[in-house]
């Protein structure tokens, strides 16, 4: 083995140790319930980290889970989406 080469097992440990498994774009889009175009927009806008290996784009499952948690809606933050109840006229 050359000095700059790393054993495949060590690479597997380094990448899989704390990051979980890798997802294809199709798997990630299905997990999020969005189409591929929306997933690519999340990636392109920097909202969701992704990695390109040659011609293949992969996402870490842990990054997708963090993205989901960051999109959580806080209670009381949607009041602007529903109107006030209509009040009877003359009161």
Q: Is residue 52 included in any domain, yes or no?
A: yes
pLDDT surpassing 90 at residue 14: no
Q: How is 46-76 classified by DSSP, letter by letter?
A: TSS--EEETTEEEEEHHHHHHHHHHTPPPTT
Is a pLDDT exceeding 60 seen at residue 33? yes
Tell me whether residue 80 is in a domain: no
Domain count, the chain: 1
Let me know if residue 81 belongs to a domain.
no
At residue 47, what are phi and psi to the nearest 5 degrees?
Answer: -80, -25
Higher-pLDDT residue of 47 and 82 is 47
Q: Indicate whether this model's pTM tops 0.95.
A: no
For residue 20, what are the domain limits? Answer: 10-70
């Amino acid at each position: 083995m050359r000095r700059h080469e790393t054993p495949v097992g060590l690479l597997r440990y380094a990448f899989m140790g704390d990051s979980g498994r890798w997802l294809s774009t199709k798997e990630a889009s299905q997990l999020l319930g969005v189409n591929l175009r929306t997933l690519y927009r999340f990636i392109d806008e920097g909202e969701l980290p992704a990695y390109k290996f040659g011609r293949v784009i992969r996402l870490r499952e842990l990054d997708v889970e963090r993205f989901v948690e960051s999109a959580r809606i806080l209670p009381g933050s949607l009041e602007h989406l529903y109107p006030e109840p209509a009040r009877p006229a003359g009161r």
